Amino acid sequence: MPVYKQKTIAKSVETSGVGLHTGKPVRMEFLPAPVNSGIRFQRMDLPDKPVIRADIDEVSEVFRGTTIGKAPESVNTVEHVMSAIFGLGISNLLIAITGGEPPAEDGSARPLIKLLKDAGIVEQDAVDDEIFLSDSFMVQDGNKSIYYRPSDKFEVTFTMDYSRQKLFQVKHFIFSDDAYENSISMARTFGFVHEFEMLREKQLALGGSLENAVVVNLDGSVLNKEGLRDPEEFVKHKILDLIGDLSLIGRRFRGHIIACRSGHALNIKFAKLFREKFNQYKRKNTTMMDIEAIREILPHRYPFLLVDRILSVDPGKSANGIKNVTANEPFFNGHFPDKRVMPGVLIVEAMAQLAGIIFLSLPEHKGKLPYFVGIDHCRFRKQVVPGDRLEMTATALRVRGNTGKVSCVAQVDGEEAAGGELMFTII
């Protein structure tokens, strides 16, 4: 499983235009932000300049767009901006905006992709968390549905069906930064001629025009002179919107998202359930494990199971555990029996077993075996003797596919006994 670094931009950049629904002029500036701050909007036109987190818990409206915050301290139609940010893998950003809705641009995310790339995207010294579930689930509303099933990548299958306009498209998309930019970001928002009067009665689509939207006739033809940018532009824009809405989860994610006729309301319902299920999974997997629970994860058995208890584990990232060194350990019978000292290689093995738990606790590695393939910078600084409690910490440094490197430290009474970097493969 790859380890991602958080990202922000190198310098501030801005854009301006009119809001798709409000029709009002607005200026929007993207500014670099520190690690773990996430994506935030700041309403510069309001007296207190309130900051609104781009988060599913802040969603207040989902009709014809996704709104975060509560009026008047809100920002409407954030999905295109959020989709572009997610598409570039940006984790931290402050968006200063002088109105209640981002500029419509050309109705797609492509101008925003260019703007943010011009600002320069830089890695930060922190890990970008990724969420994943091992169980499938579904949300449904009438004939609309979103189904999740596990996958080792982020992929979307979207079925769009507007029977009245004879618009039916299905698209399978495997996410990567390049694939998003080249295939999805250019897709413009679209609407139907017969809906405009209804929308404007509701004070919506006031800024909509052929310059920032594809307008569709009842027969499925388009009014825009240049036509479509891509035969699949309609369904690709639905994927663009879905990614923007799911980005409000606030983390990278993996899994196959299978959506049928979904819109903003169901997207947000799905996103909330996804994060809730992940939080439940994480709480379950970060609790203390006794020896029986450890035996369910590690393949080792007496006399070579060298971890007695797991104090905490963050799957794929880190773990803390202990080994109680007793006088009746079988290796003491032959290893300096007159002056009993735990063999250094067994301390390393204990740390390696703890490192194995980090990755074997991930659903995709259940039932696999961890194999030691290398040791770097290993040092032994203190003898470990009967009666000692070996307290161990393992932290993932790099993971690529089924191989990786983990930093491990073992202490006794707060003093380092051994430490090093261990390489492994899982098969």
Catalytic residues: 264, 335
| DSSP code of residue 24 | -
| CA nearest neighbour of 268 among 44, 43, 61, 25 | 61
Strand partners of residue 404: 399, 424
- Please confirm whether the linkage preceding 303 is cis (ω < 30° from 0): yes
Strand partners of residue 375: 422
Alpha helices, H only, 264-401: 264-285, 291-297, 344-360
Helices vs strands, H then E, count in the chain: 8, 25
- Please confirm whether the linkage preceding 111 is cis (ω < 30° from 0): no
Can you read off the two tokens belonging to residue 154? 């982020």
CA distances from 159 to 16, 107, 144, 183 (A): 33, 21, 10, 17
Under 8 Å between Cβ of 175 and 236: no
Can you read off the two tokens belonging to residue 6? 């958080």
Residue 227 CB neighbours (<10 A): 11
Backbone angles phi, psi at 237, to 5 degrees: -70, -35
Strand partners of residue 416: 411
Residue 1 burial class via C-beta count within 10 angstroms: exposed 0-12, middle 13-18, buried 19 and up: buried
